[in-house]
């Protein structure tokens, strides 16, 4: 498997989550309510899986190695754009968490903000994924030898292995405070 394989497999799970979120947004619009626990679950998926685990591997391993290569102007531009996309995803998730807290505390006006931020994520992720799958991943592959490409795989597994420990360490820390 090429190094981009695991990243593309992760994209498929993110797409499935986006599809679930899409159905919930339709429900919010017809019922004018949301289950804050669903929002918590979506946020947990986006933060821990899509951002820390998936974007984490892209930024800390793939992009890190690409930064050592001399990329074409277009590939460099696209990599910068992908990094900015990741930041945008984090900001949207933060706004979603804040709106969910307000909603949970009885502020019904926060429902529209929850729906807006969920819609932003529904719109954002498929476009981001398509840029990577169809354009950036194939284009950036040419900068690596087969050995360099394959060397990323064990690093990805190592990165993944530490995530479960970080996740539950943060759960305990959250309960302690
Ligand atoms: Fe990405
Ligand atoms: Fe990605």
- Cα–ligand 2 centroid distance for 7 (angstroms): 6
Q: How far apart are CA 27 and CA 169, in angstroms?
A: 34
Nearest ligand for residue 82 CA: 1
**What integer pLDDT is reported at residue 170 of this predicted model?**
93
pLDDT in tens, 40-96: 999 999 999 999 999 999 999 999 999 999 999 999 999 999 999 999 999 999 999
Please compute the mean of the pLDDT values over residues 136-147 and round it to a whole number. 98
Tell me which H or E stretch contains 50: none
Predicted local confidence at residue 66, as pLDDT? 98
Q: Give Cβ neighbours of residue 33 (< 8 Å, ≥ 6 apart).
A: 111
How confident is the model over 41-53, as pLDDT tens digits?
999 999 999 999 9
Single pTM value for the model = 0.95
Chain segment 106-135, per-residue pLDDT in tens: 999 999 999 999 999 999 999 999 999 999
Sequence-distant (6+) residues with CB within 8 A of 43 are: 93, 96, 97, 100
Which ligand neighbours the alpha carbon of 83 most closely?
1
CA of 79 to the centre of ligand 1 (A): 9
User: What burial letters (b/e) apply to 109-143, b meaning 16+ CB within 10 Å?
Assistant: ebbebbbebbbbbeeebeebbeebeeebbeebeeb
């Amino acid at each position: 498997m090429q190094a981009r394989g695991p990243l593309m497999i992760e994209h498929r799970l993110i797409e499935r989550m986006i599809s679930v979120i899409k159905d919930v947004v339709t429900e919010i619009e017809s019922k004018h309510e949301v289950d804050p626990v669903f929002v918590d679950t979506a946020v947990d998926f986006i933060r821990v899986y899509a951002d820390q685990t998936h974007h984490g591997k892209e930024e800390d391993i793939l992009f890190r190695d690409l930064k050592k290569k001399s990329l074409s102007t277009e590939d460099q531009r696209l990599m910068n754009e992908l990094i900015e996309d990741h930041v945008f995803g984090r900001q949207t998730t933060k706004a979603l968490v804040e709106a969910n807290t307000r909603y949970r505390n009885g502020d019904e006006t926060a429902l529209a903000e929850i729906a807006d931020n969920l819609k932003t994520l529904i719109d954002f992720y498929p476009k981001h994924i398509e840029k990577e799958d169809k354009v950036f991943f194939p284009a950036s592959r040419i900068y690596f030898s087969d050995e360099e490409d394959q060397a990323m795989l064990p690093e990805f597994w190592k990165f993944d292995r530490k995530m479960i420990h970080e996740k539950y360490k943060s759960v305990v820390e959250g309960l302690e405070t």
